[in-house]
Amino acid sequence: MFKPQSTAVIITLAAAVALGPLSTDMYLPSLPNLTTVFDTTVDRVQITLSVFLYGFAFAQLVYGPLADRFGRKPIMLAGLALFIIASVGCVQSSTIEELILFRFLQALGACGGPVLGRTMVRDIHGPVNAAKVLSMMGSIMALAPAIAPVIGGYMVVWFEWSSTFIFLCCYAVIAFLLITFKVPESLARENRSSLKPLVILNNFWTLLKHREYIGYSLCCSFIFSGLFAFLSGAPFVLIDFFNVPAQHSGIFYAVASCGFLSGTLIAQRIGSRVGINGVLKRGTTLAVISGLTMLLPALFDLHNLWLTTITQICYMVGVGMVMPQAMAGALAPFSTMAGTASSLLGFTQSLIAASVGMLVGHYHSGTPTTMALCIALMGSLSLLSFWLLVKPAITKA
């Protein structure tokens, strides 16, 4: 069994948290091909992405209270088991409707990793050190999504679209075994809360009344939604509009993920000097500038592959700076209901992102314009959440 504060536990939890991003990133290069495989439309194929986040969102409302009552480890293992079963279902899907259904079930299992991974970090490292550890986890986690689309792109060419789900199933099995035998339970018995409905509702109401918590949650959720707008639109923009070969499209996602990695490293470097809110101010500002730089040329039908790529990398640097810090800030005040706080944050993040992804698919015009508009808007809303909710709450305190 690993020691709770060891690097091995951080890496294992990062791998569990990465299951969510991997479940979207790895099969992105195959999305345009699915329209042919299942004889369907772009917006129907895009639903396989958004339905994953909707399932991800609503399941988190259940995972948090269950983990606060029964502990983090058994609930995470149950989620991984469901993910493995659903991944097999994805492989066996013969219609787009079946794939949508199993993607939803896959999401119900996958969300345990992100919700409980960051909750376990809060349990083990406390409110002060959690931001630093979450940034470190973000750096580790960024490596997987950086590599995954590249692997996925070649798997689509060499094998068939279902090969990505076979890989995800094997990945989840390994994570299940590591957590079972190597990761200790992080929630002390004296900190476990009740499953009584009134207690759960009161916990959620306490969070919803906490202005600082809402500010951090929205700051995190909006900037992530800009990232998901990119993930939803980029496969069709890169492959169909810019004519990037499917096996090469993964390189663009990998480079963008390097932007996220850079952002987490920057946050770690300057965090001790400027604090969580100093990092958030810089990260959200960078996201707005990047989004607008992508959008303005697109509005005038001036589309350029390299401009789109570079501005998205810069946006991802902002995402890497903001998300771990905002998560840590949101969870810091809630030691006795960190699972519930994490689940509500994840619900908000996934619900907004899924809705934005649906809009990108529905209004996709064949050009990067819709994607760029959503990215710029989400970056701006993240910045506004910081200035209108987080900043006043900190000043008042």
Quick one: average pLDDT of 9-34?
78
Angle at 365 between CA 151 and CA 245, to 5 degrees: 25
Would you state the structure tokens that stand for residue 295, as one six-digit string? 């959008």
Quick one: average pLDDT of 228-248?
79
Q: Which range among 15-24, 27-36, 225-234 has the greatest average pLDDT?
A: 225-234
**Domain extent for 312:** 7-178+196-396
Q: How many domains does the chain have?
A: 1
Residue 351 confidence (pLDDT): 85
- Helices 163-182 and 72-92 pack at an angle, to 10 degrees, of 160
Does residue 106 come out as left (phi exceeding 0), alpha (psi in the -120 to 50 range) or beta?
alpha
> pLDDT class for 360, splitting at 50, 70, 90?
confident
Give the dihedral sign, CA 190/191/193/199. positive
More reliable by pLDDT, 371 or 362: 371
Query: pLDDT tens-digit profile of 159-207?
Result: 777 788 888 899 999 989 988 888 777 666 666 666 677 777 888 898 9
- Look at residue 12 and tell me if it is in a domain: yes
Q: Measuring CA to CA, how many Å separate 2 from each of 6, 40, 113, 183, 311?
A: 7, 48, 18, 6, 41
Would you state the structure tokens that stand for residue 346, as one six-digit string? 């994840």
Per cent of the chain over pLDDT 90 is: 23
- Look at residue 64 and tell me if it is in a domain: yes
- Look at residue 188 and tell me if it is in a domain: no
Residues 6+ apart with CB under 8 A from 80: 16, 19, 109, 112, 113, 172, 175, 176, 179
CATH number assigned to the domain comprising residue 321? 1.20.1250.20
- Look at residue 191 and tell me if it is in a domain: no
- Look at residue 260 and tell me if it is in a domain: yes
More reliable by pLDDT, 213 or 139: 213
Residue 383 confidence (pLDDT): 95
Query: pLDDT tens-digit profile of 92-129?
Result: 888 888 989 999 999 899 888 777 777 787 777 776 67
Number of Cβ within a 10 Å radius of residue 231: 23
Query: pLDDT tens-digit profile of 315-344?
Result: 999 999 999 889 888 887 777 777 678 778
Distance CA 303, CA 324 (A): 32
Question: Where are any strands of DSSP class E within the chain?
Answer: none
Distance CA 109, CA 326 (A): 24
- Look at residue 187 and tell me if it is in a domain: no
Average pLDDT, the chain: 82
For 6-32, b where at least 16 C-beta lie within 10 A, e where not — what string? eeebbebbbbbbbbbbbbbbbbbbbbb
Give 4's DSSP letter: T
> pLDDT class for 286, splitting at 50, 70, 90?
very high
With beta carbons less than 8 A apart as the criterion, state whether 107 and 53 touch: yes
Distance CA 250, CA 78 (A): 31
pTM of the model: 0.75
Does residue 395 register a pLDDT over 60?
no
Q: Residue 169 in 3-state DSSP?
A: helix
Angle at 235 between CA 231 and CA 236, to 5 degrees: 120
Does residue 29 register a pLDDT over 80?
no
Q: Measuring CA to CA, how many Å separate 182 from each of 12, 18, 97, 109?
A: 9, 18, 38, 20
Quick one: average pLDDT of 66-80?
84
Number of Cβ within a 10 Å radius of residue 128: 9
Query: pLDDT tens-digit profile of 293-310?
Result: 999 998 988 888 889 989
